[in-house]
Structure 1
Amino acid sequence: MLRKLLFLTAALVAAAGLVFWLLTMPRPLDESVLAGTEPGDPVRGERMYFAGGCASCHASPEAEGVEGELGGGLVLTTDFGAFVAPNISPHPQDGIGDWSEMDFANAMLRGISPEGNHYYPAYPYTSYARMEVQDVRDIFAYLKSLPPVEGRADSHKIAFPFTLRRGIGLWKRLYLSAEPVVTFPEGTPENVLRGRYLVEGPGHCGECHTPRNFIGGLKLGQWLEGGPAAEGEGRVPGITPDEDGIGFWSEGDIAYFLESGFTPDFDSVGGAMVAVQKNMARLPAEDRESIAAYLKAIGQ
Structure 2
Amino acid sequence: MLKKRHPQLQVLAFDDGSKDNTAELIAARPDLVTLVRGAGRNGKAYGMKILARMSQGDIIVFTDANVTLREDAIARLMQYYADPTVGGVCGSLRYYGEGQSSTAEIGSLYWKLEEHLKKEESRTGNVMGADGSIFSLRRELYPEFPDTVLDDLTVSMAAVFSGHRLIKAEDVIAFEALVAKRGEEFARKMRISTRAFHTHLVMRPQLKKMAAADKFKYASRKMIRWFGGLFLILGVFSAVLTALKIYTMLGIGIALLLVFTVMIGMKATRGPLAAAIEVAMALVATLVGVFKAMRGQTFTIWNPAKSR
**Given the two structures, how large is their TM-score scaled by the length of structure 2?**
0.27
Greater share of helix: 2
Higher relative contact order (CA 8 A, sep 6+): 2
**Given the two structures, how large is their TM-score scaled by the length of structure 1?**
0.28
Greater share of strand: 2
